Amino acid sequence: MSNPLQLSRVAEIATLESGIQETKHLLNDISNAYERGLKASQIEIHTNKANAFEDAKLALQKKVKLFIDGENQKLSAKKSSFDKALYLHTLAMTSEQEKEAINKIKSASLLLVPRRMSTEMLADEICKVLTDEKAESVIKVCASFIEHMKNKVRKFHSIDENDSDVTVIEQNYSDLGDICENNDRKELHLITGPTGSGKTVNTLLPTFEGACYDDKMPLLINGSRVLAAAMLNPDDPRYYRWAHIEKTKGVLGVVYKMMLDDAYKDHRKDSKVLIIDEIEDVLDLCTQTIAGDGSLEALKLLNERLDAQIHKTPLAVISDAMMSQNTFERLKRIAKASGKKIFVHRPKVQAKNTKVTVMTEAQCTGKINEASKKLQNVFVYNDGSQDGKESKFNARYNSLKADSKVQVNAAFMHSIRAHELSSPASFADKHQVIFASPAAKCGLSIPNQSYKTSAIFGYGTSAPNDLLQAAHRARNTEEIFLALSIKGNTHYSANADRVLIEMILKDQKEDLSKASFDGMMGDKTLKMIAERSA
**Residue type at 67 in one-letter notation:** F
Q: Would you say 279 and 330 are in contact if contact means Cβ atoms under 8 Å apart?
A: no
How far is it, in rounded angstroms, from Cα 234 to Cα 419?
Answer: 9
Dihedral sign, CA of 127, 128, 132, 134? Answer: negative
Going from the C-alpha of 112 to that of each of 126, 141, 277, the distances in angstroms are 13, 15, 35
> What is the length of the chain?
534
pLDDT greater than 90 at residue 221: yes
Average model confidence (pLDDT) for the chain? 85
pLDDT band at 393 (very low <50, low <70, confident <90, very high): low
How far is it, in rounded angstroms, from Cα 313 to Cα 444?
Answer: 30
Helix (H, G, I), strand (E, B) or coil at 316: strand
Q: What is the pLDDT of residues 318-331, one digit of tens each?
A: 999 888 888 999 99
Q: What is the pLDDT of residues 405-418, one digit of tens each?
A: 888 887 887 777 87
Considering the chain, what percentage of its residues have pLDDT values greater than 70?
A: 90
How far is it, in rounded angstroms, from Cα 255 to Cα 211?
Answer: 19
- For residue 432, give the DSSP letter: S
How far is it, in rounded angstroms, from Cα 408 to Cα 431?
Answer: 12
Calculate mean pLDDT across residues 45-74: 94
Q: Would you say 7 and 26 are in contact if contact means Cβ atoms under 8 Å apart?
A: yes
pLDDT band at 425 (very low <50, low <70, confident <90, very high): confident
Predicted local distance difference test score (pLDDT) of residue 120: 86
**Residue type at 52 in one-letter notation:** A
Predicted local distance difference test score (pLDDT) of residue 391: 64
Dihedral sign, CA of 507, 511, 517, 519? Answer: negative
Predicted local distance difference test score (pLDDT) of residue 389: 42
In the chain the first and final C-alpha atoms are separated, in Å, by 51
Instruction: Please name which of 264, 227, 262 lies closest in space to residue 248, comparing C-alpha atoms.
Output: 264
Q: What is the pLDDT of residues 95-131, one digit of tens each?
A: 999 999 999 998 888 877 766 777 888 889 899 988 8
Rg of the chain over CA atoms, in angstroms?
28
pLDDT greater than 80 at residue 509: no
In sequence order, what DSSP letters do the residues of 450-511 get, joined into one string? T--EEEEEE-S-S-HHHHHHHGGGBTT--EEEEEE--TT-------HHHHHHHHHHHHHGGG
pLDDT band at 486 (very low <50, low <70, confident <90, very high): low
How far is it, in rounded angstroms, from Cα 292 to Cα 298?
Answer: 6
Alpha helices in 346-495 (DSSP H): 361-373, 392-399, 410-413, 424-429, 464-470
Predicted local distance difference test score (pLDDT) of residue 115: 64
Q: Would you say 64 and 43 are in contact if contact means Cβ atoms under 8 Å apart?
A: yes
Predicted structure pTM score: 0.67
Domains assigned to the chain: 5-155 (no CATH), 166-346 (3.40.50.300), 355-484 (3.40.50.300), 496-533 (no CATH)
pLDDT greater than 70 at residue 392: no
Calculate mean pLDDT across residues 507-532: 84
pLDDT greater than 80 at residue 142: yes
Q: Would you say 48 and 68 are in contact if contact means Cβ atoms under 8 Å apart?
A: yes
Going from the C-alpha of 222 to that of each of 190, 203, 279, 390, the distances in angstroms are 15, 15, 7, 33
How far is it, in rounded angstroms, from Cα 238 to Cα 250?
Answer: 6
In sequence order, what DSSP letters do the residues of 41-56 get, joined into one string? GGEEEEE-TTTHHHHH
Cα 272 off chain centre by: 33
Calculate mean pLDDT across residues 364-370: 90
Predicted local distance difference test score (pLDDT) of residue 489: 42
Helix (H, G, I), strand (E, B) or coil at 167: strand
The better pLDDT of the pair 350, 530 is held by: 530
Predicted local distance difference test score (pLDDT) of residue 491: 44
The better pLDDT of the pair 467, 157 is held by: 467
In sequence order, what DSSP letters do the residues of 339-382 get, joined into one string? T-EEEEEE--------EEEE--HHHHHHHHHHHHHTT--EEEEE
Calculate mean pLDDT across residues 288-296: 73
Question: DSSP 3-state helix, strand, coil percentages of the chain (rounded to 5)?
Answer: 50, 15, 35
pLDDT band at 156 (very low <50, low <70, confident <90, very high): low
Predicted local distance difference test score (pLDDT) of residue 16: 86
How far is it, in rounded angstroms, from Cα 519 to Cα 534?
Answer: 20
Q: Which residues contact 264 (CB under 8 A, 6 or more apart)?
A: 240, 243, 244, 251, 253, 257, 258
Q: Which of 156-160, 206-210, 380-384 has the highest mean pLDDT?
A: 206-210
Predicted local distance difference test score (pLDDT) of residue 8: 93
pLDDT greater than 90 at residue 285: no
How far is it, in rounded angstroms, from Cα 86 to Cα 77?
Answer: 13
Q: Which of 112-126, 438-452, 518-532 has the highest mean pLDDT?
A: 518-532
Predicted local distance difference test score (pLDDT) of residue 512: 79
Instruction: Please name which of 277, 338, 271 lies closest in space to residue 311, comparing C-alpha atoms.
Output: 338
Predicted local distance difference test score (pLDDT) of residue 300: 92
Among 147-151, 204-208, 255-259, 333-337, whose mean pLDDT is lowest? 147-151
How far is it, in rounded angstroms, from Cα 112 to Cα 127?
Answer: 16
473: region left, alpha or beta (phi > 0 left; psi from -120 to 50 alpha): alpha
Cα 182–Cα 188–Cα 194 angle in degrees, nearest 5? 105
pLDDT band at 218 (very low <50, low <70, confident <90, very high): very high
pLDDT greater than 50 at residue 254: yes
